[in-house]
């Protein structure tokens, strides 16, 4: 991460497992200013106790579905790590929420990043979803459910959004 030389970094879902570890690594490597953006449905402040100790990590409680707030928090950001997501079991239980968070929420983050002239966005994916999408959907040979496929589609649309924004902005993977 050191080659990125970012001064002000936004981590969506930064209080979660992966996001908080990214924060720890960034603090250790080049100590930038870090904004954690999380609605705390699953994330924990305790996950950030190490990173918070340096005084350059700020927490903003908010939801990536809130486009206005995402645009506000994006101001002056150089680099985004987009980690906000709901867990796969919740996607199955609440498919509309999955659509709103994984698809609309990701779109909000990417749109706001372009508007704020962010240099790079690193978005989470999961090989599990991609494998699900590529699996044969024959009912007798697979345990893939409709909700799992739906979730995989949301993940796929996240990837499609990222690729579309990359093509339009010149961002690199």
Ligand X SMILES: NC(=O)c1ccc[n+]([C@@H]2O[C@H](COP(=O)([O-])OP(=O)(O)OC[C@H]3O[C@@H](n4cnc5c(N)ncnc54)[C@H](O)[C@@H]3O)[C@@H](O)[C@H]2O)c1
CB count within 10 Å of CB 55 equals 8
- Min dist CB 78 to ligand X, Å, is 20
Q: Could you give the CA distance from residue 156 to residue 154 in angstroms, rounded to a whole number? A: 5
The stretch near ligand X (CB under 6 A) out of 33-41, 109-117, 130-138, 160-168 is: 33-41
- Min dist CB 101 to ligand X, Å, is 4
Nearer to ligand X, 15 or 23 (CB): 15
Q: Could you give the CA distance from residue 155 to residue 3 in angstroms, rounded to a whole number? A: 28
Q: Could you give the CA distance from residue 18 to residue 83 in angstroms, rounded to a whole number? A: 7
Asked whether position 56 contacts ligand X by CB under 6 A, the answer is no
Asked whether position 91 contacts ligand X by CB under 6 A, the answer is no
Asked whether position 41 contacts ligand X by CB under 6 A, the answer is yes
List phi, psi (to 5°) of 54.
-85, -5
Nearer to ligand X, 6 or 82 (CB): 82
Nearest of 82, 43, 70 to residue 162 by alpha carbon: 82
- With CB under 6 A as the contact rule, the residue among 35, 38, 108, 112 that binds ligand X is 38
The stretch near ligand X (CB under 6 A) out of 2-10, 57-65, 113-121, 143-151 is: 57-65
Q: What is the DSSP letter of 143?
A: -
**79, 5 in Cβ contact below 8 A?**
no
Asked whether position 126 contacts ligand X by CB under 6 A, the answer is yes
- By CB under 6 A, how many residues form the interface with ligand X? 25
Find the helix packing angle between 106-115 and 146-169, rounded to 10°: 10
Query: What are the residues binding ligand X (CB under 6 A)?
Result: 12-13, 15-19, 38-43, 63-65, 83-87, 101, 105, 124, 126
């Amino acid at each position: 991460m050191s080659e990125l030389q970012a001064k002000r970094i936004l981590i969506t879902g930064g209080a979660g497992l992966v996001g908080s570890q990214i924060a720890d690594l960034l603090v250790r490597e080049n100590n930038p200013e870090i904004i954690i953006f999380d609605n705390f449905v699953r994330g924990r402040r305790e996950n950030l106790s190490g990173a918070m100790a340096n005084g350059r990590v700020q927490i903003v409680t908010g939801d990536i579905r809130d486009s206005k707030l995402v645009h506000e928090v994006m101001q002056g950001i150089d680099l985004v790590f987009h980690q906000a997501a709901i867990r796969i079991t919740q996607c199955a239980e609440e498919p509309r929420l999955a659509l709103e968070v994984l698809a609309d929420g990701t779109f909000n983050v990417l749109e706001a990043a372009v508007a704020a002239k962010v240099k790079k966005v690193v978005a989470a994916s999961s090989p599990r979803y991609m494998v699900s999408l590529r699996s044969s959907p024959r009912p007798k040979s697979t345990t893939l459910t409709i909700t799992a496929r739906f979730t995989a589609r949301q993940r796929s649309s996240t990837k499609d959004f990222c690729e579309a924004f990359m093509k339009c902005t010149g961002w690199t993977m």
